[in-house]
Amino acid sequence: MKSVIAILTVVLFSVGASAPVLADKPDQEALLKIAQSLFAPLPETVENPDNPLSEEKIELGKMLYYDPRLSQSGFISCNTCHNLATYGTDNLPTSLGHRWAVGPRNSPTVLNAALHTTQFWDGRAADVEEQAKGPILNPIEMGIPDESVAVSRIASMPDYVSRFQQAFPQDSDPVSYQNIANAIGAFERTLTTPDRFDRFLKGDAEALSDKELSGLQVFINQGCAGCHAGPALGGNIKARFGIVESYWEATREFLTVDQPTMPMDVGRFAVTQDQNDLYVFKAPSLRNITRTYPYFHDGSVWDLRAATQIMARVQLGREIDDTDMDKLMAFYETLVGEIPADALRLPVLPASTENTLRPSSR
């Protein structure tokens, strides 16, 4: 049902039934009111009542996020595919994993991901805590064979044990796989990136230039907010990719010689086996979009102008002219935010002990 609603939302916006239409020249006051009804400023952190934040838990999660010993090879960390120095992505079409396996989907940015209503391109995880469990045990990602191996590696280091006790004082056995995920999730809930668009949403009249305001107006008038709304400008609905045209046909010309043709991805259908979910994917966040290339779930398109034009064609049945495209590119630049400084400071990790399971390429 949610997927059907998402499809209807996109269709309505494509014919202008729901999209608020503004005059050719942006009226700043009117534009601000409409923008405030569609979007919202980023919060400093994203709370989860089932996983309360604390300084101890966040710092532990940061250490685990950067620790490659949560992979079988001892080489891959969360930060490998979601590099905070490159805006939470690895800037590859699809990531390299355990034993150099090539993943089937592009690694989306971790920045602002805690705001999304679901995680992964197919929405199979409810939140960042559940998402954190997946890659560690995935045989072509981090390759740990089972939860007990991950837990035993971490529990073999006294400094980690002490930190888990401080982060989860109510637990009699705090070093658990769930708490590994809870700690990583807590850290990720601090990874919001406020930007100039947030200042505009809060009423700062000088935050955006005239061209950037015009780009926001184009974004709204074209119906882009049908999928890219809310504080993250996306991440809150799932929709069929390719409503008016076939997505696969629209992107083939952008594949490079070195990039193999990806098999057709059925999207959320692989999770639910529901025909209504065929080719349905989560609409990604547009925060920091100029830095999170290449684009789409298969990473097939590197150029943001081309990616935007493809979306207009296959989702909305439109072509965006060069003038409006220039304005959109200017607006996208306002969505580049500031990565939390502490998150970028590498933690000093606990030393392995004689009881720490050694890296393995198996």
And the tokens for 357? 């399971």
Distance CA 148, CA 157 (A): 15
Residue 114 pairs with which residues in a beta bridge?
A: none
pLDDT at 25: 64
Distance CA 214, CA 108 (A): 28
Of 109, 307, 258, 211, nearest in space to 119 by CA: 109
pLDDT at 205: 86
And the tokens for 134? 């997946």
pLDDT at 10: 42
| Residue in the structure block whose two tokens are 């939860």 | 147
pLDDT at 256: 56
> 130 with 182: CB under 8 angstroms?
no
Q: Residues 56, 62, 68, 72: is their CA dihedral positive or negative?
A: positive
Distance CA 167, CA 174 (A): 8
pLDDT at 2: 41
Q: Residues 60, 66, 69, 71: is their CA dihedral positive or negative?
A: positive
CA distances from 53 to 182, 262, 267 (A): 10, 40, 33
Distance CA 221, CA 34 (A): 11
Question: Hey, what domains does the chain have and what are their CATH numbers?
Answer: 2-42+194-333 (1.10.760.10), 55-192 (1.10.760.10)
Q: What is the 3-state secondary structure (H, E, C) of the chain?
A: CHHHHHHHHHHHHHCCCCCCCCCCCCCHHHHHHHHHHHECCCCCCCCCCCCCCCHHHHHHHHHHHHCHHHCCCCCCCHHHHCEHHHCCECCCCCCECHHHCECCCCCCCCCCHHHCCCECCCCCECCHHHHHHHHHHCCCCCCCCCHHHHHHHHHCCHHHHHHHHHHCCCCCCCCCHHHHHHHHHHHHCCCCCCCHHHHHHCCCCCCCCHHHHHHHHHHHHCCHHHCCCECCCCCCCEEECCCCCCHHHHHHHHCCCCCCCCCCCCECHHHHCCHHHCCEEECCCCCCHHHCCCECCCCCECCHHHHHHHHHHHHHCCCCCHHHHHHHHHHHHCCCCCCCHHHHCCCCCCCCCCCCCCCCCC
* AA letter at 68: P
Q: What is the mean pLDDT of each run of 10 residues along the chain (362 residues)?
A: 40 43 73 97 98 98 98 98 98 96 96 98 98 98 98 98 98 98 98 98 95 98 97 97 89 64 84 96 98 96 96 96 98 98 98 97 88
Q: Which residues are designated catalytic? A: 141
